[in-house]
């Protein structure tokens, strides 16, 4: 076996391996034997048929696939071991030559752990000043609360005006026997021409005019057409808004209006605070990304891209949009979208590894008990069967992942503490 190890970039290694023909043949025979353990050949007990017979019985692709796996397992990992290369993800293998009686040649691209040159982060300051809720903001929320509690009342003694709900009968005059249909229209919310026509009409009043129906109109017969119609207003309902007073507060579950205002203003402050803190954190990470140099292996980026695409599809699905519809609506090409998701993925990976590096520098530790607690919690809440619960508790890789996530979370908290510290000094001092 010959192996050439090449450093493609700081986080990627390429290994070219050539296995001689004899070893290749041995691996092929081994593959046949392995596959033949369970093969039923007439005239032989399972596992007892000679190679030549098995060779005929087992599809060639299976044999070659298994032989390939045997060879790679055998050679690639030996090279990785002897060069003390620690792959961060499964190496990607490109076969260059694989035929019986010929040497087996392949290239393996091995992604290494991302390298982070962390920029200075202890002097980052994005303080969020204490927030207040203004009188207008509270009032706005109260108004919308009032809006939600409005009720409709039949109003026969005045003409229709904006915000009224009007039941109107529309009959097309284009055809003699066209059936009239009834619509419920909120004045000011349908299309302009109809709104204008209805405003000022009284109940039982009738009007003939030409309307230009928009494409989005409910009735497909009328949508997108210029139609001569007859409108008859049948009923008018006026919205009645409740007063902003203790009674309204009661309906929302508060004791009185003063308490409602108090709680609403607290909530507004909290929302603002959260939003600004999120923004500050984003800004800090963005600066840190610029100051740092994070090198990511391509394999990791691709893996992340797949996750981003999945996530994106899930999001669309929740909104009942297909990816095709999304592309059509935004006028984006598929390549552009993938490029965008790729960039988002890279940003996320960079954040992750920057935060892990910070955790490292700050000596942030995650104790096994903390991991245990999270996993127990998950086992309680998400595992459906006892077996699943046991698997969750025993899966070492899963423990490692949770520990990493906790570490990132703690690093993020640390970073937040640093950027919120407006005294300018080291927050530890």
Partner 1 sequence: MKHPAQVIIRPLITEKGTMLRFNQNQYLFEVAGDATKIDIKNALKTLYGVDVLQVRTMWVKPKPRRFGAARRMGYTRKWKKAIVSIRPDQTIEDFNL
Binding site for partner 1 (CB under 8 A): 43-45, 48-50, 52-53, 55-56
Q: 148 CB contacts (<8 Å, ≥6 apart)? A: none
Distance CA 117, CA 360 (A): 12
CB closer to partner 1 out of 57 and 85: 57
CB closer to partner 1 out of 56 and 82: 56
CB closer to partner 1 out of 45 and 314: 45
Shortest Cβ 44–partner 1 spacing (Å): 4
Shortest Cβ 13–partner 1 spacing (Å): 44
C-alpha dihedral, 240 to 243 to 248 to 254, nearest 10°: 160
CB closer to partner 1 out of 33 and 55: 55
Shortest Cβ 324–partner 1 spacing (Å): 53
Shortest Cβ 47–partner 1 spacing (Å): 10
Shortest Cβ 70–partner 1 spacing (Å): 23
Phi-psi region of 385 (alpha: psi -120 to 50; beta: other; left: phi over 0): beta
Consecutive H or E run containing 234: strand 226-240
Contact 417, 282 (CB under 8 A): no
Shortest Cβ 40–partner 1 spacing (Å): 12
The residue written with tokens 């949508």 in the block is: 223
Contact 120, 358 (CB under 8 A): no
CB closer to partner 1 out of 30 and 53: 53
Distance CA 28, CA 31 (A): 5
Consecutive H or E run containing 380: helix 368-382
Shortest Cβ 45–partner 1 spacing (Å): 6
Distance from CA of residue 344 to its chain's centroid?
A: 11
CB closer to partner 1 out of 53 and 273: 53
CB closer to partner 1 out of 48 and 251: 48
Shortest Cβ 62–partner 1 spacing (Å): 18
Contact 418, 427 (CB under 8 A): yes
Distance CA 80, CA 67 (A): 20
- Pick from 147, 150, 151, 145: nearest CA to 250: 145
Distance from CA of residue 421 to its chain's centroid?
A: 32
CB closer to partner 1 out of 53 and 265: 53
The residue written with tokens 């060069």 in the block is: 83
CB closer to partner 1 out of 50 and 192: 50
What is the CB neighbour count within 10 angstroms for residue 16?
16
Q: What is the DSSP letter of 148?
A: H
Distance separating the N- and C-terminal Cα atoms of the chain: 58
CB closer to partner 1 out of 39 and 145: 39
Shortest Cβ 58–partner 1 spacing (Å): 13
Shortest Cβ 55–partner 1 spacing (Å): 7
Q: 142 CB contacts (<8 Å, ≥6 apart)? A: 244, 248, 260, 261, 264
């Amino acid at each position: 076996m010959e192996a050439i190890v090449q450093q493609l970039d700081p986080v990627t290694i390429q290994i070219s391996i050539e296995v001689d023909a004899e070893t290749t043949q041995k691996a092929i025979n081994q593959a046949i034997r392995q596959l033949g353990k369970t093969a039923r050949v007439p005239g032989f007990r399972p596992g007892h048929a000679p190679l030549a017979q098995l060779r005929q019985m087992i599809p060639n692709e299976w044999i070659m696939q298994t032989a390939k796996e045997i060879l790679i397992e055998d050679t690639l990992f030996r090279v990785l071991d002897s060069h003390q290369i620690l792959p961060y993800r499964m190496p990607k293998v490109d076969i260059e030559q694989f035929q019986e009686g010929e040497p087996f040649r392949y290239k393996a691209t091995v992604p290494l752990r991302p390298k982070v040159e962390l920029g200075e982060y202890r002097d980052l300051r994005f303080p969020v000043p204490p927030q207040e809720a203004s009188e207008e903001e509270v009032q706005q929320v109260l108004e919308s609360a009032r809006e939600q509690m409005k009720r409709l009342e039949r109003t026969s003694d005045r003409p229709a005006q904006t915000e009224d709900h009007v039941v109107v009968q529309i009959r097309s005059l284009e055809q003699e026997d066209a059936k009239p249909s009834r619509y419920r229209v909120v004045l000011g919310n349908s299309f302009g021409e109809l709104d204008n026509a209805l405003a000022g009409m009284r109940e039982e009043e009738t009007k003939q005019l030409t309307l230009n129906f928009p494409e989005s109109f409910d009735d497909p017969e009328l949508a997108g057409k210029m139609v001569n119609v007859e409108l008859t207003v049948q009923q008018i309902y006026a919205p009645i808004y409740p007063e902003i007073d203790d009674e309204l507060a009661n309906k929302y579950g508060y004791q009185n209006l003063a308490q409602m205002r108090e709680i609403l203003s607290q909530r507004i402050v909290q929302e603002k605070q959260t939003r600004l803190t999120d923004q500050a954190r984003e800004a800090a990470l963005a600066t840190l990304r610029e100051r740092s140099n994070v090198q990511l292996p391509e394999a990791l980026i691709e893996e992340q891209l797949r996750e981003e695409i999945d996530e994106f599809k899930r999001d669309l699905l929740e909104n009942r949009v297909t990816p095709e519809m999304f592309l059509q609506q935004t006028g984006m090409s598929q390549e552009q979208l993938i490029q965008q998701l790729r960039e988002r993925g890279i940003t996320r990976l960079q954040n992750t590894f920057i935060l892990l590096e910070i955790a490292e520098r700050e000596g942030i530790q995650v104790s096994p008990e903390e991991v245990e607690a999270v996993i127990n919690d998950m086992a309680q809440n998400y595992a459906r069967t006892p077996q699943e619960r046991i698997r969750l508790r025993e899966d070492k890789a899963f423990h490692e992942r949770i520990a990493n996530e906790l570490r990132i979370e703690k690093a993020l908290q640390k970073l937040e503490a640093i950027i919120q510290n407006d005294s300018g000094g080291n927050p530890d001092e």
